[in-house]
Amino acid sequence: MYSTGDIRNGLKIELNGQPYEILDFLHAKSGRGGATVWTKLRNLLTGGVVEHTFRSGEKIARPDLESRDMQYLYRDGDLLAFMDFWSYEQVEARADTLSGKAEYLSEGQQVKVVLYREEIVDVNLPNTVVLEVTDTEPGIRGDTVTGATKPATLETGLVVNVPLFIEVGHRIKVDTRSGEYLGRE
């Protein structure tokens, strides 16, 4: 069990029989009475965001989460297929429940997957991934204004602003936390 003093961004808790991740919190102390902690929570099963207020000292349940190494195989519409390294079973997850992390997954990539009752609810990505540029406008010779960027579509469908010299076929490093271009590979 957690207490309200343990609340922090990214903490995974269980509330009303559902697993949630804390996106934001605010600790407030009024003049009278006890302190309260306002939280913004993302449901790990549905992806929905709700707000909840906890009273100071309240106990919060820990969800039954399991972490496993898996390999991302492919995307079929809204479903993502992963293979468990130990049992070689394929497990599917809906892309909308992973809060935008599906755009950083490339086929064959090894990732840590978080499961809740044998259902994938989250993917722990590395801080950077290397992806190939599949579409971007060509750079114009002489257009070398410092810091100028253009949009580029990557192999996963992610659109990132890149410098003008990046062309189709280049492999680039992208920060998975911010979605920013970091450099060429």
First and final C-alpha spacing in the chain: 44
Q: For 73-123, what is each residue's pLDDT tens digit?
A: 999 988 999 999 888 999 998 888 887 888 999 899 999 999 988 888 889
For the chain, list the domains and their CATH numbers: 2-60 (2.30.30.30), 65-124 (2.40.50.140), 128-184 (2.40.50.140)
Strand partners, 48: none
Q: How far apart are CA 130 and CA 10, in angstroms?
A: 25
Q: How far apart are CA 86 and CA 107, in angstroms?
A: 19
The model carries a pTM of 0.75
Residues of the chain with pLDDT under 70: 140-146
